[in-house]
Amino acid sequence: MDGLRMRNLLASLQSRCALRTAFAVCVRIFRQDAHPPSGFLMKRRMPHRPFHPDPPVDSVDALAAPLRIRPLLAACGLIALACGQAAMAATDTEAHRLLDAGRRFEHGVGAPQDIDRALRLYCRAGDLGLAEASYHLGWLYSSGRVGTVDEVLGAAWYKAAQAARHPQAETQLRQLGALDAPLDQPPECVLKAALRERRLPATATQPGAHAPPMADIAPLAAREIGHADIVSLVRYLAPQYRLPPELVLAVIAAESNFNPDAHSPKDARGLMQLIPETAARFGVSNPWNPIDNLRGGMAYLRWLLDHFNGDLELALAGYNAGENAVIRHGGIPPYPETQAYVRQIRQRLGRQSTGPVSVIRGQHMDGQGDGG
């Protein structure tokens, strides 16, 4: 088989082959180009045959046969490698397709909002080995985004993401105190109705380990809460959304000045000023509940950071004016309110000692914006 034929065959196999195809091709190659003389194998099995000083022609051909077979074996190895690469590429493409579809159903962007359908799609992508899908499932389950906090299941999915070499999975496991915890593998795909609340024991090195547990802060929703209560809530919840608490507090100060009853003329409500569309998009049934409002606002802020590849100014502009306005203007919209909003939060963060915003790059999707 000449080099041109081999290159053409490899190019074809890269796009439409499986390993069994490679095996069939190799069999055909051997039959056509590498069939040894009929006496070769018998001669190899009969070492006691007398030595011939002048071997016959068929014996010379037999001795040359392995030299023809070696390059063909190499060719078959390349074919199998090409098939394996093609199969892996097809699997990766399908996994990303499932991930994108899950995001649409999770956020109700381009599809009806359906968290269970999103979970099924994410789980299928995770089962195909996509690290980002496993990581996102870990966040969904451990943060309570699905409606119930299950840190055990979330940590199991983070473990799967770590095994798939997700760069942030180890950090999340450490924050949950589950880096060395024995967890069930592979993790289960549990839908919303079947979830039950499970917590991992707090450790001395776990961020928020000394924060009040949810059992203690939940009653805050039923009474008037003060500035210190809100700060405590934010410091407890923000790490679950991979956000610095200082950033969330700066957004709350700009949005509502820490007033959980704030209600803007644009119908933005609560501490993080969620409009009804965004509240529904991120699963907030009661935006007047401070805890639900904070969760919805943090989920939206996290999504904006992923959406704009970690650009904090664009994420803040999107929170105030909507991500579509940012996309339409190719940057911070030329609205005095939005520009002052971004500048105010940046200045507030500049006066504080804060770490970098944790960023996981995400896929772009359209949606509505908030900001009072």
pLDDT in tens, 179-198: 888 876 789 999 999 999 89
Residue 144, pLDDT > 90, answer no
For the chain, residues classed under CATH 1.10.530.10 are 216-372
pLDDT at 64: 55
Which residue of the set 106, 151, 246, 255 is catalytic?
255
Q: What is the mean pLDDT of residues 71-78?
A: 66
Please provide the CATH number assigned to the domain covering 216-372. Answer: 1.10.530.10
Residue 122, pLDDT > 80, answer yes
Helix or strand or coil: residue 334? coil
Count of Cβ atoms closer than 10 Å to residue 328 Cβ:
11
pLDDT at 143: 76
Predicted model pTM: 0.50
337 is catalytic: no
What is d(CA 148, CA 26) in angstroms, rounded to the nearest whole number?
54
Backbone angles phi, psi at 242, to 5 degrees: 55, 45
pLDDT in tens, 275-309: 999 998 888 889 999 999 999 999 899 989 988 88
pLDDT at 339: 96
Q: Which residue's structure tokens are 């030299």?
A: 67
DSSP string, 246-279: HHHHHHHHHHTTT-TT-B-TT--BTTTTB-HHHH
What is d(CA 143, CA 295) in angstroms, rounded to the nearest whole number?
9
Out of 5-19, 142-156, 222-236, 356-370, which region has the weakest mean confidence (pLDDT)?
356-370
Q: Identify which has the larger pLDDT, 74 or 149.
A: 149
Which residues face 274 on adjacent strands?
269
